[in-house]
Amino acid sequence: MQPTIKDVARQAGVSTATVSRVLNEAIGVSEHTRLRVDQAISDLGYRYNALASSLKKQQSSLIGHIVPSIAGPVAPVLARAVEEEAQKSGYNVILCNSSENVEKEKANVNVLLERRVEGIVFTAPMMPEHVKAIKARNVPVVIIERRWELAGFPFVEPDNFKAAYDAVKYLLKLGHKRIAMIVGPPSAIISKLRMDGYERALMDVGLGLDGNLTSEGNYTRVSGYEAMQKFLGLEKRPTAVFAANDAMAIGAMQAAFDAGLKAPEDISFVGFDDTYAELTIPQLTTVHQPLHEIGTLATKIIMAQMNESGDQYPLENVLTCYLKERSSCAKV
């Protein structure tokens, strides 16, 4: 009976993932470990046939990564992190862009399963059923945000609630009381969590929620611009605006500028993401979320699941954010 990759791993005292990395000449393997694996291969007479292994064992040395849109600033950072971490274990990544389209997302899932990927990182899935379909094929999957009612699935996300809470508390400490918020689409759980953080911060200082001071956007600059126009039309406009992402904050700042107002002299702005924030005038104060760390951890979880060691990570992985103070806010 021909020796298997598991036999090699056992002989060398390493994981099967490490053996795979050696076979695929991946980076990140010490010379000492590589020599141990090579010696085990020689002692056992193991022969590696990548094509046969893929067909017989459904091991393709591929993982999939589905993103809602590659055009924005967030997805490219996540994609790079996923690819870098996967390559450390000798895996390549197939990146799929759903373009926020349900049918295209479903097609992406089918393509990845047909290509026999060994795991899928699913960023902001639109339909829970698509995630469940992956699990039904016994393919490991981890979710980055938009986890909805997907109980039992591992996920990685920033601490949206606390990050929003801290952002609004910062504005409150500057003396602002009329703080508006531009929220994201209600269908996204991150929108709800950030809205909840906004509400709690106001409630903790005895301020009620004013429906006139919230407006829904879709994470685009245009929707932020339109939301700000609504706020500027109020009899008593807000003195500060917290937007659920940087793009909407930048759109809001542009609307204020077009109306003859200056930031932060006339109105303060806070965003979320820390993507384009340094490119604005004034530079945007924003919540920094650890995008690269999120993508890296999601990939580590997939790798652990593929090696049947997923129990080393919890299902819920919430990473800390922090407020990056720049020059778009001032005291009132």
Assign residue 110 the CATH number of its domain. 3.40.50.2300
Q: What is the spatial distance between Cα 75 and Cα 71, in angstroms, rounded to a whole number?
A: 8
With beta carbons less than 8 A apart as the criterion, state whether 171 and 329 touch. Answer: yes
Does residue 328 lie in a domain region? no
Q: pLDDT by residue (tens digit) across 44-69? A: 888 765 544 454 445 678 999 999 98
With beta carbons less than 8 A apart as the criterion, state whether 214 and 242 touch. Answer: no
Q: What is the DSSP letter of 297?
A: H
Q: What is the pTM of this model?
A: 0.80
Does residue 324 lie in a domain region? no
Does residue 79 lie in a domain region? yes
Ranges of residues in the chain with a pLDDT under 70 are 24-28, 48-59, 147-149, 310
Which residue range(s) make up the domain with 299? 60-158+291-318
Closest CA to 119 of 308, 302, 307, 316: 302
Does residue 332 lie in a domain region? no
Q: What is the pLDDT of residue 107?
A: 94
* CATH code of 23's domain: 1.10.260.40
Q: pLDDT by residue (tens digit) across 200-223? A: 999 999 998 999 999 999 999 999
Cα 51 to Cα 56, 115, 176, 305, distances in angstroms: 9, 13, 63, 23
User: Does residue 210 sit in the same domain as residue 275?
Assistant: yes
User: Does residue 172 sit in the same domain as residue 256?
Assistant: yes
Q: What is the pLDDT of residue 55?
A: 45
Q: What is the pLDDT of residue 151?
A: 74
User: Does residue 137 sit in the same domain as residue 77?
Assistant: yes
Does residue 329 lie in a domain region? no
User: Does residue 39 sit in the same domain as residue 80?
Assistant: no
User: Does residue 127 sit in the same domain as residue 215?
Assistant: no
With beta carbons less than 8 A apart as the criterion, state whether 202 and 215 touch. Answer: no
User: Does residue 298 sit in the same domain as residue 153?
Assistant: yes
Q: What is the pLDDT of residue 106?
A: 93
Percent of the chain with pLDDT over 70: 93
Closest CA to 119 of 56, 59, 52: 59
Residue 268 falls in which region: left (phi positive, over 0), alpha (psi -120 to 50) or beta: beta
Alpha helices by DSSP H, 25-73: 31-44, 50-57
User: Does residue 283 sit in the same domain as residue 295?
Assistant: no
